[in-house]
Amino acid sequence: MGDIQDLVCCSFLIPLRGKPRVQMQVLCSILLLLLALGLQGPEAQTIEPVDLGQLPLRVAETGITQGLWLWSDKAYATSTQRQKLLDFCVQYQFNHLALAVYFEDHAASSLTLRQHAGLAQLLADAGERGITVAVLRGAKEMAFRQNHEQSLRELDALLQFNGNQPSAARFSDIHYDIEPYNTDPWRAGGDARRQVQLDYLDFLHAARQHIQENSAAVTLSVDMPYWFDKGVFVLDYHDNVKLFSEHIQDVTDFVTLMSYHRDPVRVLEQVAGEADYADKIGHTVNAGMEVGPVRGAEHFISFQWVPTWQFWQARTLIEEDARRRRGFGGVYVHYYGALYEKLNGEPPW
């Protein structure tokens, strides 16, 4: 069977956590993938990029989301960088970008996007290549109640920008990466943490309302750690007691879990519960994979330090599960700059 068999079978040596049904779902998915790969020749088990001299015009239709986070607006500042980014997406099969955008002056009465001309051109070019784009915003205190007004002003500015673009050249999603757990009130626990949770949900509901009031044809999504479904974070929100993760999934169209781990079995285990709930409410959840330079005690979550083949095979395994599992939408990779440098030996700019 080769390397992927070794990769997956070794994973079974690590006890799976969670409910027995979730464990069985994950194990069955792995066994089905092993069977499928075993029926193919060795060449089908090797993930090779498209030859740069023979790039297709568009990404392939795969039926799942193959996303890529991107944090620097340098990637769309010039025509050269835009072409490099889109060629990379086609070569390595990324059909969706979560693209960070920034404002020139947050205090200005009229908010202007930095690199707005480059962003507009990228939206048009990406559409021609079969790639959808989400605008990505995030700051750890963005959803604190005292910051709602400013955060919603910025959302309105994004929606206005989008509405001014041609219909075929607009972003498809508002994507938030807020991470309130990195703040002192969250770490304090108790009532302070509960207030952070309430503020966060109130902000998402307000964002949803602003999108609806603008009649904007965009979805609302967030990044979320896989551990928001722990019992300690259960929350009574407007007389509705649920897991914090479920409250978030209720108000968004989809979530992307920061299910970072080099073991794909661990990733699938972390996604399974949220995928079940997503299917129940008619939404989806995406898995997240990390390739950034994570060091120290958490180095094991990143593929930066392992051979490239291990990343590609793990991605293939997770994507195959996404094609089979209801409520599982696809995979996002974090992030463009790190993956480009890992594959090419130099940064993209």
Bridge partners of 137, per DSSP, are 176
Alpha-carbon 215 to chain mean position: 24
Residue type, 15: P
Domain interval for residue 113: 61-344
pLDDT tens for residues 271-312? 999 999 999 999 999 999 999 999 999 999 999 999 999 999
Per-residue pLDDT at 8 exceeds 50: no
Q: Do the domain assignments include residue 275?
A: yes
Separation between Cα atoms, residue 189 and residue 233, nearest integer Å:
10
CA pair distance 227, 8, nearest whole angstrom = 23
In 3D, which of 290, 288, 267, 287 has the Cα closest to residue 278?
287
Instruction: Decide: residue 248, CB within 10 A, 0-12 exposed, 13-18 middle, 19+ buried.
Output: buried
What whole-number distance in Å separates Cα of residue 312 and Cα of residue 160?
Answer: 38
Establish if 11 belongs to a structural domain: no
How do residues 112-157 score in pLDDT, each as one tens digit? 999 999 999 999 999 999 999 999 999 999 999 999 999 999 999 9
Packing angle of the helix pair 116-128, 79-92 (nearest 10 deg): 30
pLDDT of residue 54: 75
Q: Is the pLDDT of residue 47 over 60?
A: no
Residue whose token pair is 């998402």: 204
Q: Is residue 330 part of a domain?
A: yes
Q: What is the CATH number of the domain that holds 181?
A: 3.20.20.80
How many residues in the chain? 349
Q: How many domains does the chain have?
A: 1
Angle at 324 between CA 276 and CA 284, to 5 degrees: 40
Residue 329 pLDDT greater than 80, yes or no: yes
- The more confident residue out of 264 and 48 is 264
In a domain, 253, yes or no: yes
Q: How confident is the model at residue 79 (pLDDT cuts 50, 70, 90)?
A: very high
Closest CA to 122 of 131, 113, 114: 131
